[in-house]
Amino acid sequence: MTTTKTYRLTAVAPDAFAETCARVLFETVKNKPDAVIGLSTGRTTGDIHRRFAALVRAHNLDVSRLTIFGLDEVTGVSRNYFGACVWMLEHECVNDLGIAPENFLMLPLTSDDWERDCDAFRAELARRGGITLLELGLGENGHIGFNQPGTPFEQRAFHGRMHDYLEARIRRETGTPDDIPLGGVTLGIADVMDAYEIMLCANGAHKKQALTDALWGPVTTDLPATALQTHPNLRIICDTDAAPDPV
């Protein structure tokens, strides 16, 4: 895999991080009202989504043709669980934006045929023109979505196990007994790389090493985010605490 390193990196003060990322989302929709935007959930992105919704409201931007979808989903939990990705996106921005149900796409929480449902999700994104912009968070071990270290770069959307620490936390929060399976479903790395533009967001000193390795380390499945080095339209926004070390 050839590394091009053609990305654009913007490092801002910590208090400007969420607003800077939100403005990228806002400008994307402003310039392309029928955009298909993928959002990630987690500690990094919640404030970004709230600020995005606030910008849309403040400028009275028409989002009637906008499609929002989630990168991944926890499986085996209730839709009303506050840690479900669908719940987070609804409460962070989708409800405030007034996105029509048919324009809010999520991978399922349960399924009797994961391969079928993953293929259907991918097909629907393609039917809408493909991914205009995909927002990504960055795990400290370099994971993106539920693509943990070791995930092949050619992997398409799939269902699998989540990281042990995450599963243990979700079982505690939901009271789910050990005999009920939990997991995660996610777009694969190959699907991520199909996005027209990717915005990788990272903040906090605890993300500095992961971001440095993702941008400057060897491209390897041991650190899934290194695949992004080869994307032709990658934008990285970080705060100064997470800013990668120079080569």
What pLDDT score does 7 carry? 86
Across the range 108-132, mean pLDDT stands at 98
* Residue bearing tokens 């499945």: 221
CATH assignment, 8-239: 3.40.50.1360
Q: What is the pLDDT of residues 182-218, one digit of tens each?
A: 899 999 999 999 999 999 999 999 999 999 999 999 9
- Expressed in angstroms, the distance from the first to the final Cα of the chain is 20
Among the listed residues 151, 145, 161, 152, the one whose alpha carbon sits nearest the alpha carbon of residue 69: 145
Query: CB of 83 within 8 A of CB of 90?
Result: no
pLDDT of 106 > 50? The answer is yes
**Whole-prediction pTM:** 0.94
pLDDT band at 2 (very low <50, low <70, confident <90, very high): very low
pLDDT in tens, 5-54: 678 999 999 999 999 999 999 999 999 999 999 999 988 999 999 999 99
Look at residue 1 in the predicted model and tell me its pLDDT. 36
Q: What is the mean pLDDT of residues 127-142?
A: 96
Task: With cut-offs at 50, 70 and 90, classify the pLDDT of residue 72.
Answer: very high
Domain regions of the chain by residue span: 8-239
- Beta-ladder partners of 159: 185
pLDDT at 173: 85
